[in-house]
Amino acid sequence: MSVETTASETAVSAAPARTAHRRHYLMCEPAHFTVNYSINPWMEPTKPTDTARAVEQWQKLHDLYVELGHEVELIEPLAGYPDMVYTANGGFVIDGRAYVPKFRFVERQGEAPAFADWFRGAGYDTVIPEEVNEGEGDFLLVGDVILAGTGFRSTGDSHHEVGEVFGREVVSLTLTDPRFYHLDTAIAVLDPVQGVENGGPERANIAYLPGAFDDASRAILEERFPDAILVSDEDGSVFGLNSSSDGYNVIMSPRAKGFEKQLRERGYNPIMIDLSELLLGGGGIKCCTLELRGRS
């Protein structure tokens, strides 16, 4: 008796083996979460929010990280700053050095000193910026290269500054769709560690939403990441790319069904976490997750 194998099953069986790497994250409980102003297209102050539900959903993400073996630290939420839950905007950290944000909108500017104080207290070499930037929302480390977003929040000048701070190549990308106002809403870094796996070189790779970028940026992404997963607008519009990956497990929105299938075909393990309440503020899984890389 023959057993039929679907194309999808064949693709999964042929996918490379992936390795989960232990990560170190900073998170902030959404104890004061609400939407009482609008600084992105997702925020509608007239739409009711449920703080208790936001905390419950966030707690599931936090607990999942711990269950997967990752280290999670917490920063105290400040009253009056409901967006502080989106810790990815709170800095950019490589090799124990923390580049602090300088928020574009006044509604969030009071968060920056709190993040700077936290980094200093935790022993990080803390750099106060001169240029407007929103941390890991617009800066993504892929291998040895920093992908840097501009167009809505972080300025192009911050790209030069972050390159000087970390001594790394910076690749500037321009966002053009206001729904995807931060780089981490349009690109997911799938391999946070670049190294040697299974006897051969492991190349850091990404998934991205082509329609979120201008023509020049798309050309750069196509050249640098020929094996990238191209995500549909349907999946991007439910914040499917605002995901967190340890190299094997990819924590993602349960509504991004096509992206889930693409990940499985590449050998990743998608895990669904619903952060629909926090999406009312324009943030998802990655927005709530700041990676802490090294500490001197």
Instruction: Tell me the torsion sign for CA atoms 118, 120, 121, 123.
Output: positive
**CA-CA distances (angstroms) from residue 127 to 27, 71, 135, 139, 162?**
20, 23, 12, 15, 10
Can you give the pLDDT of all 296 residues of the chain as single tens digits? Answer: 444 445 455 555 578 899 999 999 999 999 999 999 998 999 999 999 999 999 999 999 999 999 999 999 999 999 999 999 999 999 999 999 999 999 999 999 999 999 999 999 999 999 999 999 999 999 999 999 999 999 999 999 999 999 999 999 999 999 999 999 999 999 999 998 865 443 334 578 999 999 999 999 999 999 999 999 999 999 999 999 999 999 999 999 999 999 999 999 999 999 999 999 999 999 999 999 999 998 64
Residue 199: predicted pLDDT: 37
Domain presence at residue 22: yes
What's the number of domains the chain is made of?
A: 1
Residue 15: predicted pLDDT: 82
Domain presence at residue 5: no
**CATH number of the domain enclosing 213:** 3.75.10.10
pLDDT digits over 63-103, tens only?
999 999 999 999 999 999 999 999 999 999 999 999 999 99
pTM of the model: 0.92
DSSP secondary-structure letter at 123?
T
Is position 287 annotated as part of the catalytic site? yes
Q: Which of 62, 70, 159, 182 is catalytic?
A: 182
Domain presence at residue 4: no
Is position 288 annotated as part of the catalytic site? no
Domain presence at residue 12: no
Full residue range of the structural domain in which residue 95 is found: 18-291
Q: Which of 62, 70, 159, 287 is catalytic?
A: 287
Domain presence at residue 152: yes
pLDDT digits over 184-227, tens only?
999 999 998 865 443 334 578 999 999 999 999 999 999 999 99
Residue with tokens 């993504």, as numbered in its chain: 140
Residue 202: predicted pLDDT: 52
Domain presence at residue 185: yes
Domain presence at residue 142: yes
Domain presence at residue 189: yes
| Exposure string over 125-137, b if 16+ CB within 10 A, otherwise e | ebbebeebbbbbb
For residues 74 and 27, the answer to whether their CB atoms sit within 8 Å is: yes
